[in-house]
């Protein structure tokens, strides 16, 4: 149950003050099987949804977690799914609203009554190559689940400079508030994008590469050494965190944009 639902029930006289206080306190932390503790008030407190990291979790445990968390707060996101886990989540579609990205290995499960909040925020997502798309899709999924619009441009790496320049034109035309740039190899694309646009750029080094710079290390160091100011960097392959940071920025801008339009 969401905070909004609790307060609405109180306003409509469906629950009394003591019951309202009890339900709000119960939103804080959920312990499942005395092993897993979830911060169920995170979305109320920070605007960041509850996200389950699926790797190493068995399907029965994962299903119990999903049902317990959605029962309490209405929605949960599950990241880094394998094929078997994703198929199990797809089977919940009759009982829940299920959205997923097979490429991004991520899914959202929500109750039929859950109503997401939308914001007038826009996030651009750019990749250096098609090998970076899985991480970009993870970020895109998070951004859209957090209520923002995305502008997607994939395979615009610095090997074809004209493609990167054209992508910046599109970002500017769509008035993006922040840009996520996923790149492997030498990781130069975030610097190039940042040098041509006046919004924050979040660099995501991907584990694409080989030799001494393999597994994303060269891209990470390159982004950390970016010459253009305004580039922030998350960990290798961390599309989830990039999506959350971008969304927090875009949502705040969207709120003020909406206020100014009034």
Q: Give per-residue pLDDT as tens, 107-127.
A: 999 999 998 889 999 999 999
Burial 213-252 (b: 16+ CB within 10 A, else e): bebbebbbebbeebeeeebbbbebbbbbbbbbbbbbbbbe
Higher pLDDT, 68 or 238: 238
Q: Using 50, 70 and 90 to split pLDDT, how confident is the model at 95? A: very high
Averaged over 187-202, what is the pLDDT?
Answer: 94
Q: Using 50, 70 and 90 to split pLDDT, how confident is the model at 54? A: very high
CATH number for the 122-261 domain, one of 1.10.10.10, 3.40.50.1970, 3.30.420.480, 3.30.465.10?
3.40.50.1970
Domain ranges within the chain, ordered by starting residue: 3-110, 122-261
Averaged over 117-139, what is the pLDDT?
Answer: 94
Hunting for tokens 């886990």 — which residue is that? 85
- Give tens-digit pLDDT for 212-224: 778 999 999 999 9
The angle at the Cα of 224, spanning 222 to 229, to the nearest 5 degrees, equals 105
Contact (Cβ atoms closer than 8 angstroms) between residue 243 and residue 146: yes
Q: Using 50, 70 and 90 to split pLDDT, how confident is the model at 97? A: very high
Higher pLDDT, 23 or 74: 74
Averaged over 61-86, what is the pLDDT?
Answer: 92
Q: What whole-number distance in Å separates Cα of residue 102 and Cα of residue 72?
A: 26
Q: How many helices (H) and strands (E) does the chain have?
A: 10, 11
Averaged over 83-87, what is the pLDDT?
Answer: 97
Q: Using 50, 70 and 90 to split pLDDT, how confident is the model at 192? A: very high
- Give tens-digit pLDDT for 165-187: 889 999 999 999 999 999 998 89
How do beta strands 106-110 and 122-127 pair?
unpaired
H/E stretch holding 126 reads strand 122-127
Scanning 51-160, the segments in alpha helix (DSSP H) are 59-73, 83-90, 133-145
Q: Using 50, 70 and 90 to split pLDDT, how confident is the model at 33? A: low
Residues of the chain with pLDDT > 70: what percent?
90
Q: What whole-number distance in Å separates Cα of residue 144 and Cα of residue 243?
A: 9
């Amino acid at each position: 149950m969401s905070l909004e639902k609790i307060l609405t029930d109180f306003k409509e006289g469906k629950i009394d003050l003591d019951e309202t206080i009890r339900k709000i306190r119960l939103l804080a932390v959920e312990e499942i099987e005395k092993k897993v503790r979830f911060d169920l008030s995170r979305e109320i407190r920070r605007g960041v949804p509850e996200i389950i990291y699926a790797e190493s979790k068995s399907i029965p445990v994962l299903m119990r977690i999903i049902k317990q968390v959605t029962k309490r707060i209405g929605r949960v996101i599950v990241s880094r799914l394998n094929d078997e886990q994703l198929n199990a989540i797809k089977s919940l579609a009759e009982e829940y609203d299920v959205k997923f990205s097979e490429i991004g290995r991520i899914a959202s499960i929500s109750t039929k009554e859950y109503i997401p909040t939308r914001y007038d925020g826009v996030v651009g997502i750019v990749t250096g190559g098609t090998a970076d798309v899985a991480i970009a899709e993870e970020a895109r999924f998070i951004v859209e689940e957090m209520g923002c619009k995305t502008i997607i441009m994939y395979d615009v790496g610095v090997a074809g400079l004209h493609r990167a320049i054209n992508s910046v034109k599109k970002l500017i035309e769509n008035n993006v508030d922040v840009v996520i740039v996923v790149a492997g190899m030498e990781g130069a694309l975030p610097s190039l994008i940042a040098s041509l646009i006046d919004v924050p750029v979040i660099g995501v080094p991907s584990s694409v590469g080989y030799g001494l710079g393999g597994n994303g290390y060269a891209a990470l160091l390159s982004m950390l050494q970016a010459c253009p100011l305004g580039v922030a960097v998350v960990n290798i392959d961390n599309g989830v965190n990039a999506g959350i940071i971008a969304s927090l920025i875009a949502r705040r801008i969207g709120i003020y944009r909406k206020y100014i339009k009034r």
